[in-house]
Amino acid sequence: MRNDWQPKIGDKFVRSPRVKLHPLRRVLGIPGLFSTAYGDLGSSIYYALGLVALMAMGAAPVALGIAGIFFVFTALTYAEGTAMFPEAGGSASFARHGLSDLMGFISGWSLMFGYIVTISISAYTIPSYLGYFWEPLKMYPVIHTAVAMGIVALLMVINVIGVRESSQLNFSLAMLDITVQILIIVAAVVLLFNPSAFWQRITGYWPSTPDLIFGVAIAAIAFTGVETISQMSEEARRPQEKAPRAYVWVTIVVLLIYAGISVAAFSALTPTELGSTWVTDPIAGIAQGISRAVSPFEIAKGFAVASQAIVVYLLTGLQHALPVVVALLAATILFIATNAGLLGISRLAFSLGRFQLIPAELSHVHSRFKTPYISILVFGLISLILQIPGFFGPDVFANLGGLYAFGSMLSFALAHLSILALRVRKPDLPRPFKLRLNVKILNRELPLTAILGLLGTGVIWVVVVVLQPYSRWVGFGWLAIGLGTFFLFRKLKRTSTEKSGATRSGLSGGQK
């Protein structure tokens, strides 16, 4: 017998469950977790703001605020769950421990759908921002969609080969992104903000009640990436302590930035402009609004004569540089977010395969590149398919937003439900980070934030199902395919186990 056999990554978990091996190095601290999560969350504002304005018009800031409340509840739920189970899988892991394997699969499959849509919508937004340098990228749907699909295809190849992201690069880009966004907020508030005009843009463009409700549902995509820290917890040092802290920091920063960007948007643009001309590149629209609406010479009149030349020089430089910086930074951040979606799919597929929730083939590792190439190729191709309608009509952007809300809200609702179920079924389980504001029901402490989060995300999911037929049919089609795969896989696995047991029994009988 050969003694040089070495297990592949899948073998470590699936074929040798008695051997506890950890293939991921624990190297990330709070900055690494924060920057990776903000890379996902911060990238969402580059497309979500336009989508929300398209649906909710003048109520876009209100819709984002309501969605932000549920984001806080969801982040807190993930903080408790991740501290309890610091393993890749996020809500799928919580549901598997708190509910059942089936619910763990449904949550993971829904989350995987969210990752697929994140890949599609992030890549689809990149050409709009690069349109600043070459206008056909934004103006012509065929060119726009072809470039977006090319970006996804390129990243699929890169991820199969195995080029890894750097947490240090992520941190640097996150800090640069926050700095530019703060600059935009300050410039818009100082140079353009007018309370009466701001209020008029809200009340004068107020939507119908159904549009407002759907706008809140779509606004939830602004907070894509809340599960990132949970997915990265297997690569964190002392995750029980650092993951909750990272969640707190990213929640505070994201809410402040998003509130400021909403004010900046309505200071620089009308809701109609934001939801039409700048729907796919709203931050570029804010930058253009700042650069076009401000006269450096008029502003300089308010300064001393000796300072006027300096003020004109600085403001002129800002006008010319800001659109260029926003275009380049947005394209870079969205490119990284697209890549993060592919990385998230590979981690999630690996986690689901490890616990026998999907066929092990989907998490199979390439013999040469040591990457889960099958999951990357399969789910990357699905994200490409979702972009194809972009060749034929403008509705693809709104449809992608609805699809993301379908998958993510279902997985978030199951995350809340899982934390509540764990409080009921396993009250004595160690909880390094325990949510406060508990209510006692049947002698069990249930976190109020998880209850409200379950209600909110559940209602948002129902709204998407009811109000957007495209998301309803594609989303339920995805769930049907997943459930069919799950039950078939479990049936074949059970049959295989029974045959294996019978064979071992026969061998034993013959040897006696």
Output the domain CATH number for residue 107: 1.20.1740.10
- Alpha carbon distance 223, 339 (integer Å): 17
**Does residue 316 or residue 298 have the better pLDDT?**
316
Q: Is residue 387 part of a domain?
A: yes
Phi, psi for residue 441 in degrees, rounded to 5: -135, 120
**Predicted local distance difference test score (pLDDT) of residue 15:** 39
Name the percent of the chain lying above pLDDT 70. Answer: 83
pLDDT in tens, 249-276: 888 888 999 899 999 999 989 999 998 8
4 confidence band (pLDDT: 50, 70, 90) = very low
pLDDT in tens, 59-111: 999 999 998 898 899 989 998 888 888 877 778 888 999 988 899 899 989 98
**Predicted local distance difference test score (pLDDT) of residue 6:** 44
What amino acid is encoded at 79 in this protein?
A: A
**Predicted local distance difference test score (pLDDT) of residue 40:** 74
What amino acid is encoded at 172 in this protein?
A: S
Residue 2 has pLDDT above 70, yes or no: no
Task: With H, G, I as helix, E, B as strand and everything else as coil, classify residue 279.
Answer: coil
205 confidence band (pLDDT: 50, 70, 90) = very high
Range of the domain at 266: 29-495
**Does residue 37 or residue 484 have the better pLDDT?**
484
**Predicted local distance difference test score (pLDDT) of residue 453:** 92
Q: Is residue 406 part of a domain?
A: yes
CB–CB of 192/267 below 8 Å?
yes
Residue 56's alpha-carbon distances to 62, 207, 210, 212, in angstroms, are: 9, 6, 9, 5
5 confidence band (pLDDT: 50, 70, 90) = very low
The number of beta carbons lying within 10 Å of the beta carbon of residue 426 is 13
Phi, psi for residue 438 in degrees, rounded to 5: -90, 150
Residue 23 has pLDDT above 90, yes or no: no
Q: Is residue 7 part of a domain?
A: no
**Predicted local distance difference test score (pLDDT) of residue 434:** 86
Q: What rounded mean pLDDT belongs to the chain?
A: 81
**Predicted local distance difference test score (pLDDT) of residue 336:** 82
pLDDT in tens, 485-507: 888 888 877 755 555 555 444 54
401 confidence band (pLDDT: 50, 70, 90) = confident
Q: What is the total count of domains within the chain?
A: 1
Q: What is the mean pLDDT of residues 470-493?
A: 89
pLDDT in tens, 11-21: 333 333 433 44
pLDDT in tens, 152-197: 999 888 878 765 555 566 677 778 888 888 988 988 888 888 899 8
Q: Is residue 421 part of a domain?
A: yes
Instruction: For residue 181, give the nearest of 97, 280, 83, 255 by alpha carbon.
Output: 255
Q: Is residue 178 part of a domain?
A: yes
Q: Is residue 313 part of a domain?
A: yes
- Alpha carbon distance 178, 250 (integer Å): 11
Q: Is residue 5 part of a domain?
A: no
26 confidence band (pLDDT: 50, 70, 90) = low
Q: Is residue 17 part of a domain?
A: no
446 confidence band (pLDDT: 50, 70, 90) = very high
Per the structure block, which two tokens stand in for 293? 């609406």
What dihedral do alpha carbons 71, 75, 81, 86 form, nearest 10°?
Answer: 130
Residue 285 has pLDDT above 50, yes or no: yes
